[in-house]
Amino acid sequence: MEYFEVGTKKDILYWSKRLYQKGMSPATSGNISVRTKDGILISASGVCLNDMDEDDIVLIDFDGNVLEGKKKPSSEKFLHTQIYDLREDINAIIHSHCPYITAFACSNKLMNEPIMPEFVLYFDKIPKAKYYLPSSMQLAIDTANYFKTSDTVLMQNHGVVSGANTLQEVFYALESLRAYAETYFGTQVLGGAKKISKKQIKEIKNLKK
Q: How far is the CB of 51 from Zn ion (least distance, A)?
A: 18
Please report, as residue ranges, which positions from 159 to 198 form the binding site for Zn ion (by CB under 5 A): 159
User: Going residue by residue from 114 to 153, which x/- string records binding to Zn ion, judged by CB under 5 A?
Assistant: ----------------------------------------
Give the number of C-alpha atoms closer than 13 A to the C-alpha of residue 58, restricted to the C-beta side.
22
Give strand ranges (E) for 74-166: 92-96, 128-129, 152-155, 159-164
SS3 state at 34:
strand
Q: Is-catalytic flag, 76?
A: yes
CA distance 161 to 77: 12
Q: List the one residue out of 22, 17, 29 whose CA is nearest residue 161.
A: 29
Ramachandran class of 11: left when φ > 0, alpha when ψ lies in -120 to 50, beta otherwise: alpha
User: Going residue by residue from 20 to 59, which x/- string records binding to Zn ion, judged by CB under 5 A?
Assistant: ----------------------------------------
**Edge-to-edge strands, sheet with 39-43:** 66-68, 57-60, 39-43, 31-36, 92-96, 159-164, 152-155, 128-129
Stretch that binds Zn ion, among 33-41, 49-57, 155-163, 175-183 (CB under 5 A): 155-163
Q: How many residues bind Zn ion (CB under 5 A)?
A: 1
Written as one letter, the residue type at 41 is L
Q: How far is the CB of 155 from Zn ion (least distance, A)?
A: 7
Point out the catalytic residue in the list 76, 169, 175, 182. 76
Question: Measured from the CB atom, is 150 or 157 closer to Zn ion?
Answer: 157
Question: Measured from the CB atom, is 115 or 154 closer to Zn ion?
Answer: 154
Summarize as ranges the residues that interact with Zn ion (CB under 5 A): 159
Q: Which residues are catalytic?
A: 76
